[in-house]
A and B are shown apart, each in its own frame.
Chain A
Amino acid sequence: FTFYPRRAQDTLSSSLCHLVYPTHLLANFFPFEKLESMESIGVLMMCPMSSYLENELQKRFNPVRFWNFPVFLETHRNSIRAVVGNASTGADAELIDGLPKLEIISSFSVGIDKIDLGKCKEKGIRVTNTPDVLTEDVADLAIGLILALLRRLCECDRYVRSRKWEYGDFQLATKFSGKSVGILGLGRIGTAIAKRAEAFSCPVSYYSRRVKPDLGYKYYPTVVELAQNSDILVVACPLTDETRHIVNRHVMDALGAKGVLINIGRGPHVDEQELVNALTEGRLGGAALDVFEQEPHVPEELFPLENVVLLPHVGSSTVETENAMADLVVANLEAHFAGKSLLTPVV
């Protein structure tokens, strides 16, 4: 498992929580597994996600923080009935096998590539995610990335702060309005991006597993064709075995030295080594990346480049959206343990 470093502001509150509610100690002394009230249900949190989520879980269940005490997993394995994962840490086969009483995995994200779905289906474990609440934020960020990349907003900010403006004007950037936008994967997020791009008078085209005729955008049957006919390629599809490295050398060559790549999907969608080579050699016009293959490690060759924008996976990182996602995770867990139907099930 990747041992995810936590946010600075979470440290103090989490540690205090443990001092006040030593639930892991209680579980050892009072192994009342037949207790039906939800306060005793063990919910394994894989990594620090949101202090709001932690508080909500604390109010209702018995959260076990994996990053604090991984060694206590042995003692808790029989009390953990739910796992809450996120985009970077999910539940793989090893973890699922190690938790015999696991009933539900609720993911604090919409992408569930880090969860072993086959194993879940086999064992009858339910899986939920958080669609729709984060669609707008991710689409907003995609457009923001396109503007920041094409109009060089990050560089402009650096230029003024380093006082270089006093010596000369900034260089020309590239216009966004009217450029052709190609969307890889026209799902909820892809459609939202298309709607926003249309307001900038951009012709929108897409590649998808199935044609969607009622949306009115141009369809291309292969990714390479989509890249050839687009100035901006946005990756907005889920990560599966078929879409792994879907943006490879051929696609990047088709996109060309005047094309840019925007990745708000998952890091493994793009062949990262190939991307670094294409950018440093000038074969690709630019890239704006929110996700990487080995987060939080970003290839250092990208740091000095001017035609890239690098973000630390902030696709849905706004206060309002994280709260909405946390509410959805908690609601799914409550629904499951109360015997009601799940709100956003995947499996």
Chain B
Amino acid sequence: MDFASSSLFTADFAYENELDLSSLITPSTFIPFQEPNPSIPTIHCAGAENDGRQRIRETTTTDEIITNEDVEPKNKKAKRREIERHRRQEVTSLFGNLRYILPSQYIKGKRSSSDHVQEAVNYIKDLEKKIKEISLKRDRIKRSLSHSSSTGECSIRSLESSYCSCDGDTHINVKVRTCLVGIEIVASCCFRQESCLSSILQLLVQEQCLDVVSCISSRLHPRFIHTIVCESKSMAEESPLVLVHRPPTMKYMDEPLTRYYRILTTHTSSDPLPVFLSRHASSVRAVVSIGRFKIDADFLSRLPSLQLIVCTSVGTDHVDLPECNRRGIAVTNAGGAYSEDVADYAVGLLISFLRRIPAADRYVRSGKWARCGEFQLGIKLSGKRIGILGLGSIGSLIAKRLEPFGCIISYNSTRQKQSIPYLYYPDVVSLAANNDVIVLCCALNDQTRHIVNREVMEALGKKGIIINVGRGGLIDEKEMVKCLVEGVIGGAGLDAFEKEPGVPVELFGLDNVVLSPHCAIATPGSFDNVVELALANLKAFFSNQPLISPVRLN
């Protein structure tokens, strides 16, 4: 409130009326009064007289005083009278403004200007009280969310260490008790420590389930005792309930979701999943699916109100899409949030395989370079023919990255895209026959399961390489292991397997594979992207807007 920041109220005045204005007064701000002579800067000082009225004295700057030294006293008197008159006018206008600024309940029945000033003081006190109540609320919520100790003293204990220069006890005592309506907080602090009550109220403000009913401050010299009574109420019904279906280790979505929604996690209860769902989740309209937990027809049947499934992965093969289509449930995925990282990783796997980087690194670290001589030769990347299976967002980024390496790009996709400059092959076998490397980055569904089978691998040939950054189910894994061991294909760089984290043991001893624990997306930036995208999809859903990254269900 601009008014409160004026220089009318000094520290003494505030103290006499038990106002805590130290944070409000900023000595550098002045109300821009109308000045009699704009070229002469004036200084405003205020003092409090004993009866509570304030006195404003205007003095001119020293320059003016010096130049006017030789002016006759008569002129000075006239000037002073002029200044007095001007001051009185301004004070009247100021008090006139008070009537318009204060809310009506304070002005009712009061006519004189000193009453108005008193009411202004009351108004400021009330506002302060409200601020403190709200901050106490926030304290409480913070504490309950972080499951801290029941008395809540830990969050307030930090105030105890603040410095106080007076003689009274410097520390703050806080006791929290339950009472009829909720909880009662009694805080006793040194009278100079103005921040105590406001800090408590600040913390309470964040507490959503507590309402501050009353806050009474009394002074027993040299301490203040604040008694705050808060009423507990049930959480607002307005934030929707979202079911989070995730493994226990993947917690990154929990905190962002709780900012806007109430969440229910499936792994925390001891009940088996169907029982848990039937019991708790009948009103759930949206599910967030993290990790590779299956969402099948049985799961869907236990959530009668379900309308949206938000997946944090790009692949939606773990969701029964035809069933969702039948039930009218929308599904969203991670869209393009991961694409750059996966494309980088695919290129990294390819170069690491061709130039034998992991094997060479092992060679140096085992000391063999000094003992056994040169490492074996690698294979040149430039000029290789690369066939991309599935030219979606990931596939096109891979193509963009491999072009300056001098690679020749071709692709196979469900639909031929007219604007793409790369060569199109109508089926996988011809793609494999005409390329040195095939990169798998298409979705896994019924048509693409085991799309890379023995026939494709034989077409790829002895010098052919498979790079898989899609799903393990795209490759017939048993056949692939046989082909690698027998030398039917040249080698592979694999980020995904059919039964993760189980990897066929025959691969561990092979030199012509680079293995990776499904971490093509594992960078902090991509997790932030997917969190943002999931929240955007949920927000769009709950406000009936179109979804950001929906998946085609048919």
Which A residues lie at the B interface, using CB under 8 A?
Answer: 5-8, 48, 136-137, 140-141, 143-145, 147-148, 151-154, 156-161, 163, 165-166, 168-178, 195-196, 198-201, 295-298, 303, 309-312, 314, 317-322
Contact = CB atoms under 8 A, between A and B. Distances in A.
Given A140-B382, A147-B352, A161-B515, A198 B523 contact: no
Contacts of A145: 357
Interface string B140-153: 00000000000000
B524 interface: yes
A199 B503 contact: no
A318 B379 CA distance: 5
A23 to B, nearest CB: 25
Given A199-B403, A312-B360, A137 B522 contact: no
A143 B349 CA distance: 11
Contact of B355 (A5, A141, A151, A152): A141
A148 B348 contact: yes
A144 B517 contact: no
Nearest to B524: A172
Interface of B: 249, 340-341, 343-345, 347-349, 351-352, 354-358, 360-365, 369-375, 377-382, 400-406, 500-503, 508, 514-519, 522-527
Given A147-B347, A148-B352, A296-B369, A309 B380 contact: no
Nearest to B364: A310
Contact of B501 (A5, A165, A295, A309): A165
Contacts, number: 182
Question: In the complex, which of the residues B361, B405, B501 has the most CB atoms of chain A within 10 Å of its own CB atom?
Answer: B361
Contacts of B371: 5
B517 A198 contact: no
A153 B344 contact: no
A168 B250 CA distance: 11
Contacts of A152: 519
Contacts of B363: 312
Contacts of B344: 147, 151, 175-177, 200
A200 B339 CA distance: 12
A160 B352 CA distance: 15
- Which 8 A/B pairs are nearest by Cβ-Cβ distance? A147-B348, A144-B351, A160-B515, A175-B523, A157-B358, A310-B364, A165-B501, A136-B382
A198 B522 contact: no
Contacts of A159: 517
A314 B365 CA distance: 15
Nearest to A162: B508
Question: In the complex, which of the residues A171, A311, A320 has the most CB atoms of chain B within 10 Å of its own CB atom?
Answer: A311
Question: In the complex, which of the residues B357, B401, B402, B508 has the most CB atoms of chain A within 10 Å of its own CB atom?
Answer: B357
Nearest to A11: B373
A262 B527 CA distance: 27
B515 A157 contact: yes
Contacts of A319: 377-380
Contacts of B380: 136-137, 140, 318-321
B348 A165 contact: no
Contacts of A320: 379-380
A163 to B, nearest CB: 8
A321 B380 CA distance: 7
A57 to B, nearest CB: 18
A195 B369 contact: no
Contacts of B352: 144, 147-148, 153-154, 157
A200 B401 contact: yes
24 contacts: A6-B374, A137-B380, A144-B352, A144-B357, A148-B352, A151-B348, A152-B519, A153-B352, A154-B358, A157-B516, A158-B358, A161-B508, A165-B500, A169-B519, A171-B522, A172-B527, A177-B341, A195-B404, A200-B344, A303-B365, A309-B361, A312-B363, A312-B375, A314-B375
Given A147-B351, A148-B358, A159-B517, 7 more contacts: A137-B381, A154-B362, A158-B362, A160-B517, A170-B519, A196-B405, A198-B404
Nearest to B373: A5
Contacts of B351: 140-141, 143-144, 147-148
Nearest to B348: A147
